[in-house]
Amino acid sequence: MKPNMHYGELKDSYLFYNISKKINEYLSENPGKKLYRMGIGDVSLPLCESVIKALHEGVDDQAVKEKFHGYMPECGAPFLRETIAKYYGRRGVELASDEVFVSSGASDELGDILDLFDKSNTALVIEPAYPAYVDANVMAGRKIIHLASGEYNGFLPDPDESMDADILYICSPNNPTGAVFGKEKLKKWVDFANERGAVILFDAAYEAFIEDESLPHSIFEIEGARMCAIEICSLSKTAGFTGTRLGYTVIPKTLEREGMNLNAMWVRNRTTKTNGISYILQKGGAAVFTEEGQEQIHRNIAIYKKNAKVLMAALDQLGIWYCGGKNAPYIWLKCPSGMGSWEFFDYLLQEVQVIGTPGEGFGKCGEGYFRFSTFGSPEDTERAAELLVQLLGSK
């Protein structure tokens, strides 16, 4: 057997694995120390009432012969696919329910979806970026173009003719920078993809955090996107499903390349590679999109947004440059005193036990930057902000 030698081209270990390793080492040397976790974007609030009620109902259904569900349809339960299509409809995006595929979450799907593309394709990743985009393509042996962005373009680069790529990753609102593509800027990428015959993989995992209603929540708000884009979304951040696992992917039936229909290909893929998502979870997921569910998840999102304000106020007080935090649950800041991003990580961990994510983990151009997640508890976030002011205010 010859293993996939491309694994040898990966960094030793995955970003969030490295961070937890460092934290565990610190804790073994400093047992019992309280940590302020603002590293990985993992939620701290429980699932909302509507979801819990629906999950319980789902469990009860499985106990009753007439309501029991065995294997679920591989592409998603019709009731959830319809519910999600209607959710898009409320924003003026018309989708047929069989253009929506229910998934086990965006990170799983971002890797799996690459089955649709030939290995000879080149992937373009706008960096700083969620590291799985790069790693999944390295594993597949694909060529990658790392498109650096920075403060000079608000972390929102435009395409240009020199970019010879077939698969284009766009995450908006962006992880890690919090930058959001406006409609005009996004249209440039849609036109570029259509002109070249490329496909955009649009990661919309943070759409529910958009406050500024002029900004698009979905790439399908942009004319032409039905001919070139796949949108991957998740209930992890929207509704606290990080540990529950549920997401969805939109592949328009109009998306075709070289005579192949990508929606039909994905149906073929899912029916071969999955037995669908648990009925119970899909019941819970559908509750997110009810009026009650929407109100409840937005109450939780408002708590995370308050955390963002607390952290931003501390950074303002310290005179530290940052962006994000408004339409996204991440704050992207410049490491103070010219520190490197892992250096700053170690410094905060050792001195005040505040955990963030080093910018370098999101690509080379992230060096010198740092990310705070705003998904922590309000109490911990407030304390962390005080500790940051005390520590960095005296530097």
Q: Whole-number minimum distance, CB 128 to ligand MLT, in Å?
A: 11
- Give me the least distance between CB of 304 and ligand MLT, in Å please: 13
The least CB distance from residue 73 to ligand MLT, in Å, is 26
Binding track over 163-192 against ligand MLT, x by CB under 6 A: ------------x-----------------
Binding residue for ligand MLT (CB under 6 A) from 23, 35, 40, 148?
40
Residue 367: strand, helix, or coil:
coil
Q: Which residue, 245 or 283, is less far from ligand MLT as judged by CB?
A: 245
User: CB of residue 98 vs ligand MLT: minimum separation in angstroms?
Assistant: 27
Q: Which of 50, 83, 107, 249 binds ligand MLT (CB under 6 A)?
A: 107
- In DSSP terms, which residues pair with 173 in a beta bridge? none
Least Cβ distance, residue 14 to ligand MLT (angstroms) = 10
Contacts of 194 (CB under 8 A, 6+ apart): 224, 227, 228
C-alpha 360/C-alpha 45 separation (Å) is: 28
Question: Does residue 41 contact residue 329 with C-beta atoms inside 8 Å?
Answer: yes
Of 38 and 225, CB closest to ligand MLT:
38
Tokens of 17: 């694995």
In the complex, the smallest distance separating the C-beta of residue 258 from ligand MLT, rounded to whole angstroms, is 32
Question: Is there a contact between 107 and 245 (Cβ–Cβ < 8 Å)?
Answer: no
Compute the C-alpha angle 307/311/317, nearest 5°. 145
Question: Can you say whether residue 230 is alpha, beta or left, with left for phi > 0 and alpha for psi between -120 and 50 degrees?
Answer: beta
Comparing CA positions, the residue from 75, 79, 82 lying closest to residue 102 is 75
Tell me the residue number closest to ligand MLT, measured at CB.
41
41: contact with ligand MLT by CB under 6 A: yes
Q: Residues 117 to 136: which contact ligand MLT by CB under 6 A?
A: 130
3-state SS assignment for residue 141:
coil
| Contact residues for ligand MLT, defined by CB under 6 A | 40-41, 107, 130, 175, 373
